[in-house]
């Protein structure tokens, strides 16, 4: 059948031949007592209709350019030209559109389960399952770009290019669970508490921003990763060979899984606790700028602090290899435990806190600046705290230290209040008053 504008209304509709408006007219299909099925060819400038049962337009030869309002108890469409959904598609139990070219959702797609497949996908409108269903987005030869609204219980998908789900605003999207998703760059803004339960592989980058709690029980992997939420929990795996940025704007960061990062940055208004599943599970090579109201890290890789790490009340780093502080480490209470420790930068408790340095498999070498109200520690090798200059270090109290050779240059009045056991040698040089309290042994 070939006609400019076509309207079919029957109890049931079955299309096994050709129905065409030439590609620039309109086709209306209405099954008021059953289903619509099609295995022939449907060519339409604009398609609309309804069925009390399911609508299944399966033919791979369909050429539908526009989809206006359509309601069905299950909707399926295969299409071979660029398709724009401009009206409301209500699929009831399911809505599945597969297009070999571009798929654009400027209107609304609603169903309990939604599957959108296209060469590339753009969503400036609304795709919703009410927040309790599933949404799958697959771009087979391009990008997925969403500047509208996504509402779904679970999101999955893939794209050969970028997937950018920014929404109309930072909170427009309402996604509860993110399952498996693969893209050559992945960005998501979400207005709900979000759980990444599957594997998100962002390729070059993965950026997830949630206006509520962000949990990663699954896996997020990319060269560069940025995770932002009011609070962040990572019982799963976050793996970035480049930079991993963690930001909790209204709470804590808690990690008891695995964190792999070339460089770690971030901040939290509450405490940041990166304990890992075990003491050596985390593999972090360097820390750039990080600010938290309490910072704890267990690491299984040689670690370099290259930026400014502000721990607030405390900064506790435990590493199975070398820890090097080339940047700045500051907190009221500082504890560094590693195989060996090097401090060419600044370690400071502000002059009124405590600093503990423990090298359980080598030396402690400090040629930068050490500011401590109270200093203690141990090393299996020598401890050499010479500072950048004779007066750079500002240590007020030495409460106890054990080393195989101990050297300290200090520029402030120093009281040795505990036992300093230097093994073969103990050398303390102070530019101010040096007090050995009581019967302390040096």
- The SS3 call for residue 357 is strand
Q: What is the pLDDT of residues 77-133, one digit of tens each?
A: 999 999 999 999 999 999 999 999 999 999 999 999 999 999 999 999 999 999 999
What's 2's DSSP letter?
B
Q: What is the pLDDT of residues 141-177, one digit of tens each?
A: 999 999 999 999 999 999 999 999 999 999 999 999 9
Give the model's pLDDT for residue 438: 56
Between CA 440 and CA 71 the distance in angstroms is 87
Q: What is the pLDDT of residues 381-431, one digit of tens each?
A: 999 999 999 999 999 999 999 999 999 999 999 999 999 999 999 999 999
- Are 12 and 31 in contact by the 8 Å Cβ rule? The answer is yes
- Given pLDDT bands bounded at 50, 70 and 90, which one contains residue 8? confident
- Given pLDDT bands bounded at 50, 70 and 90, which one contains residue 40? very high
- Given pLDDT bands bounded at 50, 70 and 90, which one contains residue 7? confident
CA geometry: angle 158, 163, 166, nearest 5 deg: 135
Share of the chain above pLDDT 70, in %: 98
- Given pLDDT bands bounded at 50, 70 and 90, which one contains residue 439? very low
Give the model's pLDDT for residue 1: 45
The Cα-based distances of 422 to 114, 376, 403 in angstroms read 70, 13, 5
Dihedral sign from CA coordinates of 280, 379, 411, 437: positive
**Please, what is the average pLDDT of the chain?**
96
Backbone angles phi, psi at 418, to 5 degrees: -120, -170
Q: What is the pLDDT of residues 286-317, one digit of tens each?
A: 999 999 999 999 999 999 999 999 999 999 99
Q: What is the pLDDT of residues 333-361, one digit of tens each?
A: 999 999 999 999 999 999 999 999 999 99
What mean pLDDT is predicted for residues 71-80? 98
Q: What is the pLDDT of residues 187-234, one digit of tens each?
A: 999 999 999 999 999 999 999 999 999 999 999 999 999 999 999 999
């Amino acid at each position: 059948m070939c006609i400019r504008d076509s309207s079919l209304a029957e109890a049931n509709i079955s299309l096994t031949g050709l129905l065409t408006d030439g590609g620039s007219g309109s086709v209306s299909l209405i099954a008021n007592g059953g289903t619509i099925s099609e295995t022939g060819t449907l060519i339409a400038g604009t398609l609309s209709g309804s069925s009390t049962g399911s609508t299944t337009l399966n033919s791979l030869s369909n050429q539908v350019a526009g989809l206006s309002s359509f309601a069905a108890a299950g909707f399926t469409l295969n299409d071979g030209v660029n398709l724009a959904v401009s009206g409301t598609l209500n699929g009831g139990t399911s809505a599945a559109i597969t297009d070999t070219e571009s798929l654009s959702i400027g209107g609304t797609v609603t169903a309990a389960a939604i599957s959108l497949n296209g060469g590339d996908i753009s969503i400036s409108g609304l795709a919703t399952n009410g927040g309790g269903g599933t949404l799958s987005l697959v771009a087979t030869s391009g990008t997925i770009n969403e500047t509208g609204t996504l509402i779904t219980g679970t999101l999955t998908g893939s794209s050969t290019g970028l997937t950018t789900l920014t929404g109309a605003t930072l909170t427009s999207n309402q996604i509860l669970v993110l399952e498996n998703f693969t893209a050559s760059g992945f960005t998501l803004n979400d207005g709900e508490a979000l759980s990444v339960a599957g594997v998100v592989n962002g390729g070059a980058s993965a950026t997830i921003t949630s206006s509520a709690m962000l949990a990663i029980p699954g896996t997020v992997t990319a060269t560069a990763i940025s995770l932002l939420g009011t609070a962040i929990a990572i019982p799963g795996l976050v793996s970035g060979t480049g930079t991993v940025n963690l930001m909790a704007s209204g709470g804590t960061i808690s990690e008891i899984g695995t964190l792999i990062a070339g460089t770690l940055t971030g901040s939290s208004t509450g405490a940041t606790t990166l304990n890992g599943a075990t003491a050596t599970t985390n593999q972090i090579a360097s820390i750039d700028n990080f600010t938290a109201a309490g910072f704890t890290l267990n690491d299984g890789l040689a670690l370099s602090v290259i930026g400014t790490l502000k721990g607030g009340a405390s900064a506790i780093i435990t590493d199975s290899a070398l820890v090097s502080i080339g940047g700045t480490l500051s907190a009221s209470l500082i504890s560094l435990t590693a195989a060996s420790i090097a401090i060419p930068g600044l370690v400071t408790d502000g002059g009124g806190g405590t600093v503990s340095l423990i090298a359980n498999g080598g030396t402690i070498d400090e040629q930068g600046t050490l500011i401590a109200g109270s200093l203690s520690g141990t090393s299996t090798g020598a401890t050499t705290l010479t500072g950048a200059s004779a007066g750079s270090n500002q240590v007020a109290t030495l409460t106890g230290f054990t080393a195989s050779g101990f050297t300290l240059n200090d520029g402030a009045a120093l009281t040795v209040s505990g036992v300093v056991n230097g093994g073969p040698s103990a050398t303390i040089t102070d530019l101010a008053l040096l007090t050995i309290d009581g019967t302390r042994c040096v």
